[in-house]
Amino acid sequence: MPRFLSISRHDERNRPAEPPAPELQQRMAELYEEITKAGVVLDMAELAPTSEGTRVAWVDGRAEYTDGPFTESKEVVGGYTVIQAKDKAEALEWTRRFLEVQGRYEPGTTVEVREISEG
């Protein structure tokens, strides 16, 4: 069964100020329960803001460090999920279900689904 990395991106400068409404939090909890019981998620995490991140590049034979925040791009990676599914269609269906909930809280969220190459 192939694995997929779902990379979730959001606009870091325009994050919702308020936590999700109780009703939406409830939906999020239900979705979390659903995916746990379906046994498809191998790993899942939200990332700390880019202001706490550092980019490392190899330039002229030495490491060069750039501290966040990374303001040049509107959307930054905010989280990821590793899904194991029978095929990409199944991974996309789970992603759709995630966005159906998350998109109501943070409308600009996009998710990129990439197959993890094995071997």
In contact, 3 and 82? CB cutoff 8 Å: yes
In contact, 79 and 20? CB cutoff 8 Å: no
| ω into 2 cis (within 30 of 0) | no
Told to check if 37 binds another protein by CB under 8 A, we report yes
Q: Identify which of residues 1 and 59 has a Cβ nearer to another protein in the complex.
A: 1
Among 40, 76, 83, 111, binds another protein (CB under 8 A): 40
At its nearest, how many Å lie between another protein and the CB of residue 103? Answer: 13
45, containing H or E segment? strand 41-46
At its nearest, how many Å lie between another protein and the CB of residue 50? Answer: 24
Interface region with another protein, contact rule CB under 8 A, candidates 22-30, 33-41, 48-56, 66-74: 33-41
With residues binned 3-state (H G I as helix, E B as strand, rest as coil), the percentages for the chain, rounded to 5, are 35, 35, 30
**Could you list the residues that contact another protein (CB under 8 A)?**
1, 33, 36-40, 42-43, 82, 84, 86-87, 89-90, 92-94, 100, 118-119
